[in-house]
Chains A and B, each alone.
Chain A
């Protein structure tokens, strides 16, 4: 199953799996706005100084895919739902998504994908309204390890340790446990 990756997820994974978007076995995709965000957010310059090395690796969905009837329809549905005021069951408050969030959501629904986002509210919206599964960056890594798309090595381990330095969000416990089982390495990330 394909996965639409959001900014946070990409920044955590692209150094470990630089081919995540170019090798179809990884099944990852993203939208042009996310790519733009990665390279245009000034703050990321200091937080992720290595990001420009991966410019060629982060390949977003094509314009044709972003303008497909499915995408447009999904996007319209999302806009209508949000403007009517949909309550998030977890927080009991209105879902409030930005334009780019809406596009990430539309890309996920239109392509019948799962999503990998570290944004709880976006994950809540997709799960509640479209029964879309969110897979954590570590969860995605586990899938790749199990499918033998990656062989864990010291360099990858260092990148993973960097997640804590960059204040990345804590990963689900079950994914941590699975990671240790997959790699025989202690998990040293957040």
Chain B
């Protein structure tokens, strides 16, 4: 919201209260009231007095920010869950909790933008290969968690880990907050399910030239799907898996697929979809694959179990700096203006951690990093 001082004049006139009398009754000078009218936000106790005196809600003296500062475009839903207004409202609500943090981020930086002339499969492959190349991934290697997090950092994405309320039936969603690319990730997400949605949202975020305040068109969704899929499963890997299983009986195929899934921690559904795309003659029951994925999830931990299971604040801070360095740097830079509770809220702290202790370790880490930097430059 923005302060709208001119409303004082209008409301006072409506209520037949002169500005001089208003100033006297609030206990400020006439000049102070003029300053408010001209754009200075009153102190809290004066605003409260103003509301009481003019019998108005505070909103009467503010206006909505015309420029959209936070956008939460309609995002990919989980399985068969339908996107609904409540889900959207909750996502926006979550993004709004970060409003002031990003508003206060005085960061100018160079970030890459994915620009394509046509949203074709060939271009999706080209973009995927280019990004994989920047990560130094060989053509037959599946992307792992470390490279995934590195990619998000490279694309200028702030990664925020939160436990989503039940109404947000999504693994991840993208939001643009004061021009910053932010991807929210549900910490309950199983690692098997994490890669694809995260890559998908990352591609959305990096398609900066697409108007995405409301909903993406189907073609854009499909392009992001394809690019994400090619980043996760490069053609050589898909070919390798296909060659390994193609002539085997179904039981052996399943066994081999399970082994690939376990080794590289990815779901089979996405992989099989890619194999079918690359080798149209290949056949396997999707229902069966979904069943195997369900069983696989039981053996692979959720994101919170993998990254944030420790109740030691030191471990939490270390894990966060590794998983989301951009976001942690931003939080650290503003830590002195956040209350302990707000810090806990922004970091999505589980009740097993005390925000005050986490703050102490963030400060300690910053001091250490500064010290290391100073030593490196002999300062």
**Which residues of A are in contact with B by a Cβ distance under 8 Å?**
8, 40-44, 47, 73-74, 76-86, 88, 91, 93-101, 109, 119, 121-122, 128-131, 167
Contact = CB atoms under 8 A, between A and B. Distances in A.
The contact size tier of chain B is 35 or more
Contacts of A47: 354
Contact of B43 (A83, A91, A129): A129
B100 A43 contact: no
B51 A73 contact: yes
Contacts of A41: 351, 354
A96 B59 contact: no
Interface stretch (B120-128, B204-212, B330-338): B330-338
B48 A86 contact: no
A42 B334 contact: no
A91 B334 CA distance: 9
Contacts, number: 114
Which of B338, B350, B353, B357 has the most chain A CB within a 10 Å cutoff? B338
Contacts of B62: 80, 83-84
Contacts of B52: 73
Contacts of B104: 85, 93-94, 96
Contacts of B2: 84
A119 B337 CA distance: 10
A42 B350 CA distance: 8
B339 A93 contact: no
A94 B100 CA distance: 7
Nearest to B98: A96
Interface string B342-369: 1011000011111011001000000000
B66 to A, nearest CB: 14
Contacts of A83: 1, 62, 99
Nearest to A44: B354
B339 A98 contact: yes
Contacts of B311: 42-43
Contacts of B336: 91, 93, 121
Contacts of A130: 43-45, 48
Interface of B: 1-3, 41, 43-45, 47-48, 51-52, 57-59, 61-62, 99-101, 103-104, 311, 334, 336-342, 344-345, 350-354, 356-357, 360
Closest 9 pairs between A and B when the two form their complex, measured CB to CB: A129-B44, A93-B337, A98-B341, A80-B58, A98-B342, A42-B351, A43-B354, A42-B352, A121-B339
A127 to B, nearest CB: 10
A10 to B, nearest CB: 14
B341 A100 contact: yes
A40 to B, nearest CB: 6
A119 B41 contact: no
A99 to B, nearest CB: 8
Given A73-B52, A84-B3, A94-B337, 14 more contacts: A42-B311, A43-B311, A76-B59, A77-B47, A80-B59, A81-B41, A86-B41, A93-B337, A94-B100, A96-B100, A98-B341, A129-B43, A130-B44, A130-B48
Contacts of A79: 58
Nearest to B341: A98
Given A83-B1, A83-B99, A109 B44 contact: yes
Nearest to B353: A43
A84 B339 contact: no
